[in-house]
């Protein structure tokens, strides 16, 4: 007997921060597409000159490339440039999604601020850098959850909101204050909202990845990578983006239908019991 995830065929998933080649967002988009979902792929509108060298060499085209992958899997794809940290932009995005896709079922808040000047002590961090991290990681997820949550309630068919957080929001380590605060706030948003929209059949959960092989962490040296794996990860490997995509698909599926308000560490065992 084969167990397959159900309840995903023909549903519409909106995924923010899904344009990078080596990324969690791309993996969630393609995993949900393989499971039967149509996908709205949201990106920030990166300019090609800002792409990493590997993306330029591969001819990568950000959200357009992910959209092509989704269509190749036989599903509809709608790539959209939107600023999740701007409420007006999110409202316009929601109207476009409803007009072009006809419905919405799953919201995956994956967009994240880049690692740029924020890994410093609180007493030293530039307030503008702090605001940018909070605006994208926390406020952006709030705007998306509020605006699309209203659409889910009005639609009246339940649904799921998944916030892509981090074990950093549980570790709260020194020199990660802005990032940790944004992710810990996201945990509070997840828990509170789950208790508010459950009556509408809407589940709200957070996935907290550990160290995952994405371009976001390319500033770590090979020695740093190996040190983290050897010293902190019981399963002795870094995560792959598809590990997070699989968890997202499960939480959206019928098989995850009685799960809400949870903060799942997907980290190879690094934060056992948390």
CATH number at residue 32: 3.40.50.720
Q: For position 201, what pLDDT does the model report?
A: 98
Task: List pLDDT tens digits, range 193-223.
Answer: 999 999 999 999 999 999 999 887 777 778 8
Q: Report d(CA 170, CA 183) in Å as an integer.
A: 8
Task: List pLDDT tens digits, range 15-55.
Answer: 999 999 999 999 999 999 999 999 999 999 999 998 989 99
pLDDT band at 116 (very low <50, low <70, confident <90, very high): confident
Task: List pLDDT tens digits, range 131-165.
Answer: 999 999 999 999 999 999 999 999 999 999 999 99
Flag whether 6 is in a domain: no
The residue written with tokens 């007009």 in the block is: 99
Flag whether 274 is in a domain: no
Mean pLDDT, to the nearest integer, of 111-127? 94
Task: Give the residue with greater pLDDT, 14 vs 224.
Answer: 14
Flag whether 5 is in a domain: no
Flag whether 241 is in a domain: yes
Q: Report d(CA 136, CA 113) in Å as an integer.
A: 6
Output the six-digit token pair for 182: 């944004």
pLDDT at 225 exceeding the cut of 90: no
pLDDT band at 10 (very low <50, low <70, confident <90, very high): very high
Flag whether 235 is in a domain: yes
Phi, psi of 206 (to 5 degrees): -120, 140
pLDDT band at 65 (very low <50, low <70, confident <90, very high): very high
Average pLDDT of the chain, as a whole number: 96
Domain of residue 206, residue span: 12-266
Question: Count of domains in the chain?
Answer: 1
Judge whether 265 and 257 are in contact, CB under 8 Å.
no
Flag whether 271 is in a domain: no
Please identify every residue annotated as catalytic: 179
Full 3-state SS string of the chain: CCCCCCCCCCCEEEECCCCCCCCHHHHHHHHHHHCCCEEEEEECCCCHHHCCHHHHHHCCCCHHHHHHHHHHCCCCEEEEECCCCCHHHHHHHHHHHHHHHCCCCEEEECCCCCCCCCCCCCCCCCHHHHHHHHHHHHHHHHHHHHHHHHHHHHHCCCEEEEEECCCHHHHCCCCCHHHHHHHHHHHHHHHHHHHHHHHHCEEEEEEEECCECCHHHCCCCHHHHHHHHHHHCCCCCCECHHHHHHHHHHHHCHHHCCCCCCEEEECCCCCCCC
Instruction: Give the CA diameter of the chain.
Output: 58
Task: Characterize 2-24 residue by residue with b for buried, 16 or more Cβ atoms within 10 angstroms of its Cβ, and e for exposed.
Answer: eeebebbeebbbbbbbbbbbbbb
Q: For position 220, what pLDDT does the model report?
A: 76
Flag whether 66 is in a domain: yes
The pTM of the full predicted model, rounded to 2 decimals, is: 0.96
């Amino acid at each position: 007997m084969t167990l397959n995830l159900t309840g995903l065929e023909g549903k519409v998933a909106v995924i923010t921060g899904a344009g990078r080649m080596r990324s969690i967002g791309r993996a969630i988009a393609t995993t949900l597409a393989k499971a039967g979902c149509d996908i709205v792929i949201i990106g920030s509108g990166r300019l090609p000159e800002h792409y990493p060298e590997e993306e330029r060499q591969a001819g990568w085209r950000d959200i357009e490339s992910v959209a092509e992958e989704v269509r190749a899997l036989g599903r509809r794809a709608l790539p959209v440039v939107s600023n999740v940290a701007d409420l007006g932009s999110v409202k316009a995005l929601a109207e476009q999604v409803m007009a072009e896709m006809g419905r919405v079922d799953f919201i995956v808040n994956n967009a994240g601020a880049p690692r740029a000047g924020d890994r410093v002590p609180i007493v030293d961090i530039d307030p503008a850098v702090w605001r940018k991290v909070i605006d994208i990681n926390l406020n952006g997820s709030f705007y998306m959850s509020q605006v699309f949550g209203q659409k889910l309630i009005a639609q009246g068919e339940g649904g799921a909101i998944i916030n892509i957080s981090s074990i950093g929001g549980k570790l709260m380590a020194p020199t990660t204050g802005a990032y940790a605060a944004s992710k810990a706030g996201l945990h509070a948003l997840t828990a509170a909202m789950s208790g508010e929209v459950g009556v509408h059949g809407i589940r709200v959960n957070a996935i907290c990845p550990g160290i995952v092989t994405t371009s976001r962490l390319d500033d770590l040296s090979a020695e740093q990578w190996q040190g983290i794996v050897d010293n902190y990860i019981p399963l002795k490997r870094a995560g792959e983006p598809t590990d997070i995509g699989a968890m997202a698909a499960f939480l959206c599926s019928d098989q995850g239908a009685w799960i809400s308000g949870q903060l799942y560490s997907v980290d190879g065992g690094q934060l056992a019991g948390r």
